[in-house]
Amino acid sequence: MRPPGIQAVSTLTPLLIFALLAWPKTHVSAQTGCADSNLPGDCLRLNQVQVLGSHNSYKRWPAEALIEELNAYRPDWARDITYEHRPLQEQLETLGLRQFELDVFADPLGGHYADPAGGLLVDDPTLETNRAIMSQPGFKVLHSQDLDYRTTCLTLQDCLSEIRNWSIANPSHLPIMIMLELKDAPRQNWGPITYTTPVSFTEQLVVDVDDDIWAVFDREHVITPDDVRGQSDSLEQAILNNGWPTLAQSRGKVLFAMDNTGRHRDLYLQQAPGLEGRAMFVSMNPGHPTAAFIKMNNAIDDHEQIRDNVARGYLVRTRSDVPSHEARTGDTTRRELALDSGAQYISTDYAEPSPFGSGYQVVLPDGPGHARCNPVSAPAGCQADWLSE
């Protein structure tokens, strides 16, 4: 994508120029900053933009035969897993989404998730197609072992490669947030299903996720905690005092965040308490040296706190819907609160109209489609066309 003609800086009002340039520069070289850009929007910081993303971005619709089995055992059991997404590149290109969530299972020996019990129960033909890849060692991407295993990209490297390839082909895109949730929770057996016990994430396996990231992305393609921290004593101090990188510094890049907030996060910080050398940001509440990104999924209960955190300079991810509710009822309460909260990343399962007849869909209320000026953190006078790609 090439950016269309955008209003030159010289035509902006003096007041607006002051509002934009008053935001402090980050440590990144001025050669890539807004001072050298002819695009006024490039003076915006990446936290002054709001984009849509997808929840469980890789997910495909379960096998219909499996849905019937599940619902026969317990009525409406499959209700919460009957949604799906396009392949990642289509979400980027066609839907304009700029945030993804990938669920990651460790499989260091290979084959641990190659024969999901639910798929075997209904003789799902995708198992045979996927078995060669699923039998290889490496991190796998799926929602739930044995039941909700269908995915548009089977391995973490495959998923990341799709995003990387689109990014390289579209170098002026706004920064893409990629959230990774590390999963290893066992499930209680029920009915006809005996669940596979996931491989538990050790400290080494948690750190190995970074290796998969660097196996796909070049270092200069990723905005890391080290980049944002610069010479500051901590990441939190950097984002509160210096601000996030500008769009001029961020276009064509991605950033990663760990979704987990418990044991997995602690393991990731064990040898790098300030995220030194790490690829991912972590979700951390204000007051911690690594606080910069915060996962706050409940846009209803946390609406005002999200607005406060965004206004202070943190990146926030929230959700506009949860499975089985908004898509069937058409209730827009959560969606409207999420948009109004100023959370920079709003995850939805319905960037396209719900298939359940409710008319529910999530789109940005203004802007070019893939982004809008953040309703909480953007400077006065911010214009939608500044966010063109």
pLDDT above 90 covers a percentage of the chain that reads 83
Instruction: Characterize the bridge pairing of strands 222-223 and 280-282.
Output: unpaired
Cα–Cα distance for residue pair 328/10, rounded to 1 Å:
49
Task: Characterise 40 by phi-psi region: left (phi > 0), alpha (psi -120 to 50), beta (else).
Answer: alpha
Q: Can you give the pLDDT at residue 193?
A: 86
Q: Where are the beta strands (DSSP E) in 127-235?
A: 140-141, 176-183, 222-223
Cα–Cα distance for residue pair 121/129, rounded to 1 Å:
16
Residue 220, SS3 per DSSP:
helix
Quick: pLDDT tens for 271-305.
999 999 999 999 999 999 999 999 999 999 999 99
**Comparing 190 with 210, which gets the higher pLDDT?**
210
The model's confidence at residue 26, banded by pLDDT at 50, 70 and 90, is very low
Query: Is the pLDDT assigned to residue 30 strictly greater than 60?
Result: no
Calculate mean pLDDT across residues 97-125. 98
Element (H, E) at 317: strand 315-319
Cα–Cα distance for residue pair 229/227, rounded to 1 Å:
6
Q: Can you give the pLDDT at residue 9?
A: 30
The model's confidence at residue 25, banded by pLDDT at 50, 70 and 90, is very low
**Bridge partners for 291 per DSSP:** none
- Taking alpha carbons only, the member of 358, 356, 355, 361 closest to residue 339 is 361
Q: Which residues of 148-164 are buried (b: 16+ CB within 10 A; e: fewer)?
A: bbbbbbbbbbbbbbbbb
Sketch out the chain's domains with CATH numbers.
40-379 (3.20.20.190)
**Bridge partners for 293 per DSSP:** 283, 315
